[in-house]
Structure 1
Amino acid sequence: MKKILAIFILLSTGISQAQSSIPSNYFKNPLDIDLVLAGYFGELRSNHFHSGFDIKTQQRQGINVIAAGDGYISRINISNYGYGKALYIQHPNGYTTVYGHLKKFSPEIEAYIKKLQYAKESYEIEVFPEAKDLALNQGDLIAYSGNTGGSGGPHLHFEIRDGQQRPMNPALFGIDIKDTQAPIINSLYVYPLGEEAQVNGSAQRQRLKLTPLSDGSFKAEEIDACGEIGFGISTFDRQDGAPNQNGIYKIETKLNGDKVFEIKMDKFSFAETRHINQLIDYEYYSSNNSRITKLYRGSNNPLSIYEEVVNNGTLDIKDSLDYMFNISVADFKGNIKMIRIPIKGKQSLVRNPKNIKKTDYFVQANEAFSTENGPIDVYIPKSSLYEDTYLDIEFKGDTIYLNEDNIPIQNYITIGFDVSKYNAEDRDKMFIAKLNKRGRPSYSSTKKKANRFTTGVRNFGTYTLASDKNAPSIYPVNFKDGQWISSNKDISLKISDDLSGINSFRATVNGKWILMEYEYKNNTITHDFSDDVVTETENILKVIVTDNVGNSKTYEATFFRK
């Protein structure tokens, strides 16, 4: 109780004061193994920045995860996706540490959360314990590393957040990662931005040739340019001990020795993270699956990772003047890779103008937009797009081609369908789907109200009405109907749905709800017999799986245990 009281006292003295300077020796490594990274803080991911360190766990699960500091478990979140099984520790200095993709929790925490899961009859759960419930000391065992949620392999996702729940770079707190290698530069691009701007007689993006120099830096080919231009770079960092292409820490640019642009991956907020699509060349990414970091800042860009920006990071190149533009890419340890780009100001005739396809649908970023044709309507709220743009929209029956997915969307746009021509029975099994390039439909969360279906989307593409009249499938994995399974530690089944997707499942034994852990990556649900809820010799298992349009499949079997 003294420890718990101390926590309350420290918290009440003012979190903001505790965070006036970053404590570099407060937190301990969350794993008792050498820290090798699979992912770095601020790394460029799909629609978001990576919010912590992905720490390798020697390609296995079950490594002890320990509390990085004194505190208490302030949040437990178990989800099929995202962080999977995750713990949040509130520390007396106002910071929060996060531990994700866990296999299971320590015995005390596991017992605490399973009691609540059984009370709620749900695998997915989120709770916020009080300080007195699960207090702990630095170094205490809190969990075992795993691969749950949206993990692509066994590892520990570790975060440190400030008092406003903004993720911060763990390296700032002394979480040390060995790194003796300079960042890697893949490619360099130049962008004519102004209406009259051109580079080498072209108004389009160009890739520049890089020549390695003896000091490890690069020199780019000299360019002739005039007007407002900007640059972009494809780069990554590689720490010692692993080949992973991780995110960089800092990029800085200078024109004739004067700094014009800097980004640094120290801290960001979750509210801004989707604006990553303004940092990268989204059009290039959509067609090449490779991210170019733009070294200039567009309008209405709220990202806080910009440290110092002059004239939005763009260069105003004048005719008949010479310039030297330098780019430096650095990791947290200070290893640096440089690029030097000579620029000759030269007004040239534009032989290769920008490709702007004008259509009947022009959307202004600061105004709402709507259109409809036949049974389909589209509404784009104000500020959903970053820039004014023409959209390519085509209506055909129950299908809408809503532009190529090469323009980023910040806020949800709504697509609506009038389904009054369909009878109630057909509508019951219908949903709005996005079609991939092969025409394969995937479920888009569909709201149904009388004769109108709507969906909110954040990606352009082709959307249509689809129908799913087939129930999900259920197959046993490690047992058979009528089998004795006394030696089994668990019971597992495969569940899947080939069209609208799994919405929910429920399992009972002898009429009593049992906890089934869902692993979507291999379509399995598993019950651990250590929960001690299956106590009879003869047991009737019943599993009901329902898809996103309400089709259900029931599986029943009998198994025996001593």
Structure 2
Amino acid sequence: MKYLILLFFAYTFAFGQSETPYPQDYFRNPLDITLVLSGTFAELRSNHFHSGLDIKTQQRTGLKVYAAAQGYVSRIKISHYGYGKALYITHPNGYVSVYAHLNKFSPKIQKYIKACQYEKESYEVEMFPSPDELPISSDEVVAFSGNTGGSGGPHLHFEIRDNEERPINPLLFGIDVKDTKSPFLLAAYAYPKDRNSHVDDEKKRKELRLIPNKNGDYSTEPIEALGDIGFGIVSYDQQDLANNKNGVSNIQTFYNGNKSFEMDFKRFSFSESKHINRFIDFEVFKEEKSRIQKLFVQSGNTLSMLKDVDSHGYIKVEDSTNTVYKVRIRDFKGNESWLSIPIKGRPAKEILEAPELKPDHYIYADQVNELESENISVYFPKQSFYEDFYIDFGVDSDTLKLHRDVVPMLKSYTITYDVSSYSEEDKSKLFIAKLYGYYKNPSYISTKRLGNKLSARTKSLGTFALARDTVNPTINPINFQDGKWLSKLDYLKVRIDDDLSGISNYRATINGKWILMEYDYKKDTLTYDFDDNVNTETENNLKIIVTDNVGNSTTFEATFFRK
């Protein structure tokens, strides 16, 4: 085995000296069906760029998932949310392949991880096997596709990462997807940089009238402008075998024939993924659910996918000129669409502008900022925001208005409530909630208690309030009844729910022994597999305790018989 490990790292070093940055024909399709994507690499998601390919699994679970190449299982993570059941395989060439939202693992991996779960008495685990514990051969079945974690439907999330844990587009390694369609353009916008610039006499973002051309490209009606101007687009790509609106692969801009900006969606690091909220127009996304990709670079946007950016991507329109701004949008297969924006340079007409109304409080991005009123205080660390701005701050009883959730944030901040005026009984049931929607429905934020202070950390602005949860969670059996024989069942299932603060934890035992119950938060179910063989008696006593986020608890007990 020592020889194999030495050979592993020798091969890694040798390959690192190769001039080919991405090996072709090394990694295989992880499924044995035609590759059809519901999500592409680096496409725009909420608060992050997508780090892999979402491969369709024909609207079902249980498809065989193959190792993309030989190697060893270097990490297994199981969580209620996020990737759900995820598997990481390190390969001799130094890359790591990732398989997520799995239904279950292959027998040898399943045996390994279940032993860990029972040892830790926890469904959620994260393990890092050594290179000789779970070796993987080429084309080995390592798992079965599923819909676990934050998945919105059955599919396989597949990644390839380099030795610095940076995700890379798997299509760069020769994995093929049929795509002959050019990207689509939905909208185009112009952004005057400051008060000295204008577009059609407007000094704020302006949507341009988009004109599809017969050749598949696009243009806009001519605009009149002056000064420093940036542009933004809403675009997507579509493969031949799917109707999903996926992300594009590359965007370039040209002004009078000279390249001024490029965004190349090839590779990124997880630490920078948050800057997506600086790359898109965050306010438009939060209010209209449309992601405008800004083809200019504002302060704090340090995305490594940016290339050849001249003058931060802005163009300078001068008086009495006729120019053209062009955008080239490409997918991975090289299909492309062009956008042309004719521009005539002229000064703005004199416009009497109303004075801008500004709140009383101002945020300095490079400083600590603290706000306080009545029983509520807010603490923003340095560099919580990308830029300085006026913040709308107000307190009404236990309700905190903290601007609108339209400002992108870099760090979490802390909200603190003084609850000394509440009774001891009420204090134990209080939590800090963010209020959503027209009816201001409360949503739990992880709340800490220290004496008479409640505090919570969050990374979004909005309206917050104290909420009180006095209702215990519910537990109801799904496929069995108390006192019945269950010999023919493969699984034991119950439904758990909490109507306000949400489920915090649960614990289940049979005859006093801990059992592994998988929690599917999307279906509010706990499932126990009788193959675990924890119950060895004919008469069995099931006990489940479920606790919500403020400590309300419910205990469910039942007796069943099984041979």
TM-score computed with the length of structure 1 as normaliser: 0.98
Deviations 1:45-76 (A, max 9, x none): 00000000000001000000010011100000
Task: Specify the code of the residue in structure 1 equivalent to 2:194.
Answer: G
Contact 1:204 1:354 in 2 (8 A): no
Between 1-10 and 149-158, report the one with greater CA deviation.
Answer: 1-10
Q: How far apart are 1:351 and its partner, in Å?
A: 3.6
| 1:151-550 mapped onto 2 (5 Å cutoff) | 151-349=151-349, 351=351, 356-437=356-437, 438-550=439-551
Deviation at 1:360, TM superposition (A): 0.7
Rounded Cα–Cα distance in structure 1 between residues aligned with 2:4 and 2:268: 31
Amino acid at match of 1:50: H
Q: Does the C-alpha gap of structure 1 residues 23 and 354 become closer, same or farther in structure 2, counting only changes over 3 Å? A: farther
1:203–1:350 CA contact under 8 A, matched in 2: no
Q: Aligned in 2, Cα 1:335/1:428: closer, same or farther, shift over 3 Å?
A: same
Distance 2:313 2:441 in 1: 42
Change (3 A) 1:234 1:194: same
1:534 maps to amino acid: N
Amino acid at match of 2:518: E
Q: Write out per-residue CA displacement over residues 434-469 of structure 1, whole angstroms, 9 at most, x where no aligned residue.
A: 111212111101111111111111111111111111
Letter in 1 for 2:514: W
Distance 1:244 1:79 in 2: 27
CA contact (8 A) 1:18 1:94 kept: no
Q: Which residue pairs with 2:43 in the alignment?
A: 43
State the distance in 1 between where 2:299 and 2:481 align: 61
CA distance in 2, matches of 1:392, 1:350: 31
Which residue of structure 2 lines up, in the alignment, with residue 100 of structure 1? Answer: 100
1:179-232: CA deviation from partner (whole Å, max 9, x where unpaired): 110011111111111221111011121111111222211121100000111111
Does the 8 A contact of 1:82 with 1:149 survive in 2?
yes
- The 5-angstrom pairing of residues 136-151 of structure 1 reads 136-151=136-151
Cα offset, 1:14, TM superposition:
7.0
- Match of 2:134, as an amino acid? L
Question: Equivalent residue of 2:296, what SS?
Answer: coil
Asked if the contact 1:19/1:93 (under 8 Å) is kept, the reply is: no
Sort the Cα spacing of 1:142 and 1:350 in 2 relative to 1 into closer, same or farther, 3 A. farther
Higher mean alpha-carbon deviation, 15-24 vs 37-46, is at 15-24
Report the counterpart of residue 561 of structure 1 in structure 2. Answer: 562
How far 1:302 sits from its partner (Å)? 1.1
- Whether the 8 Å contact between 1:376 and 1:417 is mirrored in structure 2 is yes
Q: Helix, strand or coil: the match of 1:285?
A: helix
Deviation for aligned residue 1:530: 1.1
Q: Which residue in 1 is equivalent to 2:87?
A: 87
Consecutive unaligned residues in structure 1, runs of 5 or more? none
* d(CA) in 2 for partners of 1:11, 1:558: 57
- State whether residues 4 and 131 of structure 1, in contact with CA within 8 Å, keep that contact through their aligned partners in structure 2: no
Distance 2:74 2:478 in 1: 36
TM-score (norm 2): 0.98
Q: Give the drift of 1:6.
A: 5.1
Q: Distance in 2 between matches of 1:301 and 1:154?
A: 34
Structure 1 counterpart SS, 2:225:
strand
Point out 4+ residue stretches in structure 1 off by more than 6 angstroms.
none
The structure-2 alpha-carbon separation of the partners of 1:356 and 1:523, relative to structure 1 and needing over 3 Å to count, comes to farther
State the secondary structure of the residue aligned to 1:425.
Answer: helix
Q: Secondary structure at the match of 2:308?
A: strand
Q: Which amino acid aligns with 2:64?
A: N
How far residue 421 of structure 1 moved from its aligned partner, in angstroms, is: 1.3
Amino acid at match of 1:328: R
The CA distance in 1 between the partners of 2:358 and 2:19, in whole Å, is 51
CA drift at 1:7: 4.9
Counterpart CA distance in 1 for 2:141 and 2:159 is 17
The residue type paired with residue 444 of structure 1 is: I
In 1, Cα distance between the equivalents of 2:113 and 2:352?
Answer: 63
Unaligned runs of 5+ in 2: none
**1: distance between equivalents of 2:513 and 2:295?**
59
1:424 deviation in Å? 2.2
CA distance in 2, matches of 1:392, 1:152: 35
Quote the Cα distance in structure 2 between the aligned partners of 1:378 and 1:27: 50
The residue type equivalent to 2:557 in the other structure is E
Quick check: 2:12–2:92 contact (8 Å CA) kept in 1? no
How many angstroms does 1:396 deviate by? Answer: 0.8
**How far did residue 483 of structure 1 move?**
1.3
Q: What is the DSSP-based 3-state SS (H/G/I as helix, E as strand, rest coil) of the residue aligned with 2:179?
A: coil
Structure 1, 433-442 or 486-495: larger mean CA deviation: 433-442
Query: Larger deviation: 24-33 or 275-284?
Result: 24-33
